Structure 1
Amino acid sequence: MRARYAAEVTVSDGRRFASLGRVTVRNRRLALLWLRRQALRLANAHGCAVSDASPGDVRPVRFHGSDAPEGLRFWATDGRRQDDAIRALEAGFPLLFTVVDPAVGLSLTLAGWRGSPADL
């Protein structure tokens, strides 16, 4: 059976950890596409209501500064970073990208990895 890919968005305040959402898909491009969508949704929702949510989208996060949303937006739209991300997944390495909201010590991580269906 072909390898499947998982992607997840998590948040932590340094003491507690929570998953905001997770998806399992059939290939690395779909995993990266889902992560990019979530990054842009979270960045664009900074200070606004989220109106474009789909059933598989993560719950919104309230950022207290603009660094984290700008970091998410940059990661999702920068061609070099997206090329690096797809190559990491292709090589079997996990994809991890974390932004920090220094105002409250909140960290948000986008993660993607390859695994067999039994491992997910």
Structure 2
Amino acid sequence: MLRGSCLCGDVTFETSAPPQGPSMCHCSQCRKQSGGVWASAFVAENALQISGDVLWFEASETAKRGSCPRCGAYLFWKAHDEDTMSFALGALDGPTGIKIERHIFVADKGDFYDIADGLEQKD
């Protein structure tokens, strides 16, 4: 079981499903919302149990982003046409055993850092 929460603890989540697609997103939306690179993985939406009130922001015509209305922690990403939900790896409690597989939206990354870990990079 993986468990996580926001900074203040008002929003918690858990899943027993194996996380898929662990990645680091470098898109400008993730950078602006998180202040840097956003690490996430996804599970089927119905396999993620969320407790607490989530503030959903329609970031684009294709997806919404979920955060805690109290502390502002950015926790979730959901494409409108998919049945999966991404969650912030940084919000997980304890060791996870999850390893990042790739970097995504690297064409949009900030110019203030380099990606030098040898993992797959997708534009």
Sort the TM-score into its range (normalised by shorter chain): under 0.3
Structure with greater contact order relative to length (CA < 8 Å, sep ≥ 6)? 1
TM-score (norm 1): 0.26
When normalised by structure 2's length, the TM-score is 0.26
